[in-house]
Amino acid sequence: MSGSPPPPPTEDRPPARVGWILFVLALGGFAIGTSEFAMMGLMPNLVRSFAVAEPQVGHMISAYALGVVIGAPVLAVLGASWSRRALLMALMAFYALGNLATALAPGYGTMLAARFVAGLPHGAYFGVAMLVAASISPPAQRGAAVSRVLLGLSVAILVGNPLATWLGQLSSWRWTFALVALLALCTTACVWRLVPATPAASGQSPLRELRAFNRPQVWLALAIAAVGFAGMFCVFSYLAPTVVEVTGMAEAWIPLALAAFGVGAIAGNLAGGWLFDRLQFRAVAWILGWSLPVLLLFPLAAHSPWSLLPAVGALGTMGALAPVLQARLMDVAGEAQTLAAASNHAAFNAANALGPWLGGLAIGAGFGWTATGYVGAATAAAGLALYAWARCDARRHGRGPAVA
């Protein structure tokens, strides 16, 4: 199934060692998640700092996402012949530089460019980290291992993002990205110390990855991520102004709303790994089916603090889709493991670009901040349609495991 050499037997690696490796990989995810999602909570600060409107800050979010979309496949292909440890270190060092540039950006144009650059190593890092996590875990626990690495991203939403927002309100948003750069450098050192220095797979090359990548089930899984997940980002990207303008809460309450989202994201991340280990690809339908009522009810819930916080927590549970599709790609990617794993995060960040853009169109057309819930529900429904297409294709042609 994979072009990678078979990993050492899991029993040869002490459980404590495995736990520390997963922790280090998740630490990098925490740095990435804090930087990526801090933009949403810091939206009011950035509006004042650069004298722009909220949708223009949304373009900063989209610029980062575009960097992920472009950087994930390009860097994964270029690094196909590298050892996974060396590639992880290079990607985290690159991420530190991108966030340092963000912290020092003097104007709106340079901020857009810095966010684009910061996004370039995002997807490739997660893709390689997932492959390392899966290679040191028993086959029946791949979903759980992937979700543990992604837990760093979820904890960033729960802890890192509210702290980043609070720091931006207390001092300056620039300190947030400077601290992320420092955390990325710490992750680089920890990867060098703890992650095994396994060589690249024999014969692995960029052309080999590209040839193996061109499979319908790979592209359909990526399409589900790009479209079906856009609804979560559509709502979450404009959560800060929704809290202030619709719910009528002070800006000081924005970190609490972000923390509610983080609680939901952690629950969804753990549930996603559990669901994949039991339902395989069918878990996608369960998650997107759950997303529809969550998104449709959000516009109603946004008018009261008592209903907003549970609704935001439920929105975070949509993150269950990430470990499910990541593990699915490992099953159907064949010898394009690195490229497919990285491209999954490119697809999710295509959703991160698509969601704010569609939400901004609805808001700009005068439908109000809560229109993002209805727009998001439409994208979740489109994701379900893509899932049905993938199932039909797999059954018709017998493509990929876990068709049932």
What is the CATH classification number for the domain harbouring 149?
1.20.1250.20
How many independent structural domains does the chain possess?
Answer: 1
Range of the domain at 379: 10-397
**Residue with the larger pLDDT of the pair 123 and 5:** 123
CB atoms within 10 A of CB 19: 11
For the chain, percent of residues with pLDDT exceeding 90: 16
* 307 pLDDT more than 80: yes
Task: Return the exposure string of 257-282: e unless at least 16 CB atoms fall within 10 Å of the residue's CB, then b.
Answer: bbbbbbbbbbbbbbbbbbbbbebbbb
Q: What pLDDT, on the 0 to 100 scale, is given for residue 204?
A: 58
Confidence grade of residue 2 (pLDDT, cut at 50, 70, 90): very low
Q: What pLDDT, on the 0 to 100 scale, is given for residue 212?
A: 60
CB atoms within 10 A of CB 97: 16
CA-closest candidate to residue 324, choices 344, 340, 338:
344
Asked, for residue 403, whether it belongs to a domain, the answer is: no
Q: What pLDDT, on the 0 to 100 scale, is given for residue 95?
A: 95
Q: Record the pTM.
A: 0.72
Asked, for residue 245, whether it belongs to a domain, the answer is: yes
Asked, for residue 138, whether it belongs to a domain, the answer is: yes
Reported as a single tens digit per residue, the pLDDT across 309-357 is: 898 899 989 888 888 887 787 777 666 667 777 777 778 878 877 888 8
CA-closest candidate to residue 2, choices 122, 84, 62:
84
Q: What is the mean pLDDT of the chain?
A: 81
**CB 31 within 8 Å of CB 94:** no
**CB 157 within 8 Å of CB 262:** yes
Confidence grade of residue 187 (pLDDT, cut at 50, 70, 90): very high
Asked, for residue 224, whether it belongs to a domain, the answer is: yes
- Alpha-carbon distance values, 204 to 84, 89, 134, 331, 334 (Å): 12, 19, 18, 18, 12
Question: Average pLDDT in the 189-214 region?
Answer: 70
Q: What pLDDT, on the 0 to 100 scale, is given for residue 9?
A: 41
* 308 pLDDT more than 70: yes
Asked, for residue 390, whether it belongs to a domain, the answer is: yes
Asked, for residue 2, whether it belongs to a domain, the answer is: no
Q: What pLDDT, on the 0 to 100 scale, is given for residue 398?
A: 63
**CB 152 within 8 Å of CB 27:** yes
Asked, for residue 391, whether it belongs to a domain, the answer is: yes
Confidence grade of residue 370 (pLDDT, cut at 50, 70, 90): confident
